[in-house]
């Protein structure tokens, strides 16, 4: 499958999701099996033009740890696809 996104590690507890394709991708939604109060700015039915990116946060605590993946769906692929979250140092 040709997945049009990559996720890279950002500063602190942030991540950057980028459209690596040459096409606009609509209805991009990211979900994660993590407490809702520990996430910020997850894409929800967003549009990503070619090369566009969005920063989001997945906060780790001593009790919750950090998830290893997020689920991404978009207009032509409504079934969520698992994308790994890069490790944090």
Residue pLDDT, tens place only, 19-32: 999 999 999 999 99
Task: Print the domain residue range for 26.
Answer: 5-84
Number of domains in the chain: 1
The three-class DSSP label of residue 10 is: coil
- Residue 88 pLDDT class (50, 70, 90 cuts): confident
CA distance linking residue 27 with residue 9, whole number of Å: 23
Q: Which are the contacts of 42, defined by CB distance < 8 A and separation ≥ 6? A: 29, 30, 31, 32, 56, 70
Tell me the pLDDT tens digit for each residue of 34-51: 999 999 999 999 999 999
Neighbours of 20 (CB within 10 A): 14
Confidence tier at 1 by pLDDT (50, 70, 90): confident
CATH code for the domain of 54: 2.60.40
Q: Is residue 89 part of a domain?
A: no
Quote the pLDDT of residue 32.
97
Helix (H, G, I), strand (E, B) or coil at 38: helix
76 found inside a domain: yes
Quote the percentage of the chain above a pLDDT of 90: 92
Beta carbons within 8 Å of 74's beta carbon, 6+ residues apart: 4, 25, 26, 27, 28, 29
Q: Could you report the per-residue pLDDT of 52-86, keeping only the tens digit for each?
A: 999 999 999 999 989 999 999 999 999 999 999 99
């Amino acid at each position: 499958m040709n997945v049009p996104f990559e996720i890279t590690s950002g500063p602190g507890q942030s991540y950057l999701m980028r459209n690596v394709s040459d096409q606009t991708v609509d209805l991009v939604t990211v979900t994660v099996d993590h407490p809702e109060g520990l996430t910020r700015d997850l894409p929800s039915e967003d549009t990503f033009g070619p090369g566009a990116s969005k920063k989001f946060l997945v906060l780790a605590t001593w009790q919750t740890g950090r998830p290893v993946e997020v689920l991404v769906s978009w207009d032509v692929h409504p079934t969520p696809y698992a994308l790994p979250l890069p490790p944090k140092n």
